[in-house]
Amino acid sequence: MLKITKVTMSRRYEIHGIAYDEVEIQEPTGELYNQLGKPQEYMRTADNTLLLHTHTSVVKDYLDQCVIAPVKGGGLMIAAIDQMRVEKALLDFFIDPDLAPAKKPDQTAPESI
């Protein structure tokens, strides 16, 4: 069974007469992954710095398929901060803790980018 994540919005919205303050996203299927590809990938710069690049058009295509509430599909007219929350929730489906590089005990993640 595919996971469903609920994302709380910063405010209340309305679409097609439906008021909502939460968006539900269904985990992408393997078939959808085969069709759309990676939403993010690591790339090296000329000075060999490793950067995580987000393919925004691919993320949009995933959201068009994976947003299931308040309405199925994309097209939500929400504030940028809420769009970022929805995108983060989608991208979290692609993180496999078993494949993530191990952190040393003294390493901490930045609070925000």
Residue 99 lies in a domain: no
Percent of the chain past pLDDT 90, that is, above it, reads: 73
Residue 97 lies in a domain: no
Residue 100 lies in a domain: no
What total of structural domains would you count in the chain? 1
Mean pLDDT of the chain: 88
Residue 108 lies in a domain: no
Q: What is the 3-state secondary structure (H, E, C) of 60-74?
A: HHHHHHHEEECCCCC
Paired tokens of 38: 């990676």
Residue 111 lies in a domain: no
Paired tokens of 31: 């078939």
Domain ranges, residue 20: 4-92
pLDDT tens-digit map of 30-83: 999 999 999 999 999 999 999 999 999 999 999 999 999 998 876 788 999 999
Has residue 103 got a pLDDT over 80? no
Residue 113 lies in a domain: no
Across 81-102, average pLDDT: 87
List the 67-69 sheet strands across, edge first: 4-15, 18-26, 67-69
